[in-house]
Structure 1
């Protein structure tokens, strides 16, 4: 930190509180206070400018959308600290506001979009009679986290003995700091930010969004981790990710052994299956999935940014955005469902479903004769992943305005230089098989199939914002995976 703060203040959490009139001439006060405190925490100039934009857009949005022109309102502004992040909060008791509607209004849409893009977390809370709260979060810079972790960085470690006795278990909240150190040993500071935030890891563990298989060596050192992420607590499919292995233990077959532990755990708690995204900078993780019986369901060709490095594998980083192969491993019987497949993807999706052996009835435009209801307004969710510079648009309900809304969203995201945009479509909705052709006209192409993701299967499409991908650099571990890559390349080229 550039400025030493009393630890009692950090533990208490509140760094500053202001109660100010809801008038724009107070904007410099709020902005300057935010930048000054952020500077104490070591944010570089580029990030300070981002914080300035976030605070500016947030305060303007609150003032302009919460109060009438002649109304003298009040805004409570607060800056708080939690381990690994600063939280900027705006509270008021003005007019009720629907953020989704604000995002559709030209006057406010770009401001909300900018906040979501620049913030690491964005939350809008309706407090009922107490008003409402807008909360934005910026994670601390890597350099600050380095102070916590750098003392534990091994220098050129010797490979561990192959016959060492290892202990497998499940991640506990007290392991969070050791997991952060493990991420550093394996990836430096280039991995997804949650791996470096012990307090955030503890929180998602506590609330049921994460479980993980862990491995300790004979000295009780934390040497490997395989995360099981859940879309929501109680979900029946886990996203198997955050696979991290200490460089000393590469070649010990730990990924496969952890995955076997995860399978047994999943069977015991009634999961339908495990979903995973395997990197393509090397074939090892893909091969591990395949030997366990997982099946390829798609490929996202520009998923990971160029910053990610794998110590002992590619210390220089990636030369382009990196692809991930999608896998699904069925471990328990899932519900019987009907899925509606678009004609343009009928062959590949039918083949994927056949490989997965899911309990599905497939409908196509040839077999489906009912009328599709698309009345009313579209409902969708837009989320950002700043560490990947990507966005995900999830369709919750199709409306007659779906195409113009998507066109607007794509334009806004491209203007903000988002590299990749994903579109998640419910295969339980007949409209999906009719609308995909229009989504392809907007620039989306095939990504993959994810079973039982949100109480049903989804079709994931992908959009690249003026970035070049050399597909010859994508390492594929199987012929089936190669055929999926070839299909995706052809599908993208057919849009031109």
Structure 2
């Protein structure tokens, strides 16, 4: 089942139709060979999501409908429940406590906890006038990479003590797109390089890599030796979520014994060529700041700094490096222009100079205007359109502000408060600089504790990136910046950081 199979149900808002929806999910579950247990668990989540729509999204007298959309392929079964009822904010659901429940204390949130525990991924999307969606994903049973090899074959690579470039024996190699039979070795290499710390877990499942390359969510490239066809290195373009138009370069590694051969440069050239054929305007990436090596490698391939994401990842440990400490890993956001672009944006006056420098650095021509005061625009929407993405595994979240409504201030404060209560350590916020009305809200956001991180060019939008730290200490001296402009950017971000005052 390599291609997507899509089907849908359009049902009245009534609990009478719940059995029909569950029967529909059960039959599709059989198509992907789910076990009876997996079907039951998935239906628990679907039942809870549908019940929430029926009981809470509409008034009893409203005769409305909702949709169930199902997408199945060889790696996952996705259910999207879509309605145009009252908005739902998952961050406002109280955490269920089994201990307090046993003590007789009335508890809420059990249904939500069951829903989260019955699927592999769950996300909520408020779409403004387009309504809202709950997306439930359960993976088809597949083997993790550690099931393919003995423990001794999964040990971390031995790092070379020194690469003698003068006496390095050149190895002939070829770069190509990932072949299905290479996926197991790629997953093994990823595990031996990153351990189990790479945030995108699909890299550890060979079958998922194969499927995601078929669907276009990934473009994986490999370098292999001409003599033995051994995989030397790997890099991929990730077309996921909000970054589906401007992909992210990721999953990059070279086996230690092949370092210095130029694998990553050649892999980048291949991916650039493929991206150009697709009409992609640019590629972004994140470079760690514990050491300068990834920054230098990306700079060599044409990537230039456009922002700094503070404390984005949990602390990383790199072999052979001293004094790494326990500070969360900050990232340099880098961008590579593939085609010339004319950009016209609105920027807050107090950030205009730095934003202008960033666009000059990444090679984009930008006309930068000052936001105009159009009060009537803000009242056009009663409710703001704010999407929330949460990655609990790294205690990070992102707010995407798509439209500003009458109660924007209260909505932002509430979301920040709830994310902080859930121990999210870093909250990023992205807001389109092409929208005059949105840019007028930046001073308000900065009053709430958000501060400048940088910019992220997109296909038809240009995002200003702000960040909020939830009591996360930052020692800026430990953030390694390999180039003069990223050092200037770090100093600017530090000056904007209210926690440094």
User: Same fold, TM exceeding 0.5?
Assistant: yes
- C-alpha displacement of 1:270: 2.6
Report what 2:54 is aligned to: 66
The residue matched to 1:391 in structure 2 has which SS? Answer: strand
Structure 2 residue runs without a partner (length 5+): 1-28, 61-71, 96-107, 126-132
CA distance in 2, matches of 1:134, 1:298: 31
CA distance in 2, matches of 1:331, 1:399: 36
Q: Is the 2:32–2:74 Cα contact (8 Å) retained in structure 1?
A: no
RMSD over aligned Cα, in angstroms? 4.1
Report what 1:208 is aligned to: 216
- C-alpha displacement of 1:487: 0.9
Match of 1:189 among 193, 196, 203: 196
Counterpart mapping for 1:283-298 below 5 A: 283-298=292-307
CA distance in 2, matches of 1:297, 1:108: 38
Q: Is the 1:185–1:247 Cα contact (8 Å) retained in structure 2?
A: no
Match of 1:465 among 462, 470, 482: 470
More off after superposition, 152-161 vs 108-117: 108-117
Report what 2:33 is aligned to: 13
More off after superposition, 417-426 vs 149-158: 149-158
CA distance in 2, matches of 1:300, 1:234: 16
Counterpart mapping for 1:5-404 below 5 A: 13-16=33-36, 62-63=50-51, 65-66=53-54, 97=83, 101-103=87-89, 111=109, 120-122=120-122, 135-137=136-138, 145-149=145-149, 150=151, 152-153=153-154, 157=158, 162-192=169-199, 193-217=201-225, 218-231=227-240, 236-306=245-315, 308-310=316-318, 312-313=319-320, 319-334=326-341, 336-365=342-371, 368=372, 373-374=377-378, 375-376=380-381, 377-404=383-410
The residue matched to 1:243 in structure 2 has which SS? Answer: strand
Match of 1:441 among 421, 442, 447: 447
Does residue 425 in structure 1 map to residue 431 in structure 2?
A: yes
CA distance in 1, matches of 2:224, 2:284: 25
Structure 1 residue runs without a partner (length 5+): 1-8, 20-29, 35-53, 71-80, 126-131
- TM-score by structure 2 length? 0.73
Q: Is the 1:116–1:384 Cα contact (8 Å) retained in structure 2?
A: no
- C-alpha displacement of 1:425: 0.3
Deviation digits for residues 40-87 of structure 1 (CA, Å, limit 9, x no counterpart)? xxxxxxxxxxxxxx99987655545535999xxxxxxxxxx99999x7
Does residue 408 in structure 1 map to residue 414 in structure 2?
A: yes
- TM-score by structure 1 length? 0.73
The residue matched to 1:146 in structure 2 has which SS? Answer: helix
Deviation digits for residues 202-255 of structure 1 (CA, Å, limit 9, x no counterpart)? 332222121132111232122211111124699553211221121222343433
Q: 1:60 to 1:158 in 2, by over 3 A?
A: closer
Report what 1:25 is aligned to: none
CA distance in 2, matches of 1:139, 1:156: 30
- C-alpha displacement of 1:345: 1.2
- C-alpha displacement of 1:362: 1.1
Q: 1:115 to 1:290 in 2, by over 3 A?
A: farther
- C-alpha displacement of 1:467: 1.6
The residue matched to 2:401 in structure 1 has which SS? Answer: strand
- C-alpha displacement of 1:457: 0.8
More off after superposition, 415-424 vs 230-239: 230-239
- C-alpha displacement of 1:298: 0.4
Equivalenced residue count is 428
CA distance in 1, matches of 2:483, 2:43: 49
Q: Is the 2:306–2:358 Cα contact (8 Å) retained in structure 1?
A: yes
Deviation digits for residues 243-294 of structure 1 (CA, Å, limit 9, x no counterpart)? 1121222343433332233333333433211211111122112112223332
